[in-house]
Amino acid sequence: MKTAICPGSFDPPTNGHLNIIERALKIFDRLIVAVAVNTAKQPIFTGEERVDLLQEIFDGQPKIQVDRFEGLLVDYAKGRGVTTILRGIRNMSDYEYEFQMALANKAMHPELETIFMMTEGRYSHLSSTIIKDVIQYGGKASEMIHPIVEAALKKKLR
């Protein structure tokens, strides 16, 4: 069974994330969507809240499992017995950051392979940060996020 871990901050998950996950289901038999800690970010949702959001979004999709971890991605992957990481790339700056992370992960865990998928053009301008701003200042974000995420963001930010 081909399984990949799709790690991210998901603070919050955007339609860009969801698009990558849905497309990846055509390639992998099972995806573990793993909410992780990015030490460079101050999340507005707790890890548990992000897991709950993703679980609600993917409810009824048996090929997707939502999980959460703290610590290194390589240790989590080892613990789950998975050797494939899936990440989306939007642009060149993502590429540089992802390249660094993939190489660092590979140095720590040589069996680990990182697979990248290009974000669809219509999502390439999205970011969780932009979406939080749009919602906070009363803008419309329904094209950018799932209705479950929009409701949760409005509750949190307004």
Binding site for ligand COA (CB under 6 A): 7-10, 14, 16-17, 20, 36-38, 41, 72-73, 88, 90, 101, 104-105, 119, 123, 126-129
Alpha-carbon gap, residue 92 to 31, rounded angstroms = 26
CB nearer ligand COA, residue 28 or residue 123 = 123
Beta carbon of residue 106, minimum distance to ligand COA (angstroms, whole number):
9
Asked about 41 being catalytic, the answer comes back as: yes
Q: Which amino acid is at 52?
A: D
Beta carbon of residue 22, minimum distance to ligand COA (angstroms, whole number):
11
* Pairing label, strands 64-68, 3-8: unpaired
Asked about 109 being catalytic, the answer comes back as: no
Beta carbon of residue 49, minimum distance to ligand COA (angstroms, whole number):
14
Q: How many CB atoms lie within 10 A of CB 136?
A: 14
C-alpha dihedral (59, 60, 61, 67), degrees to nearest 10: 40
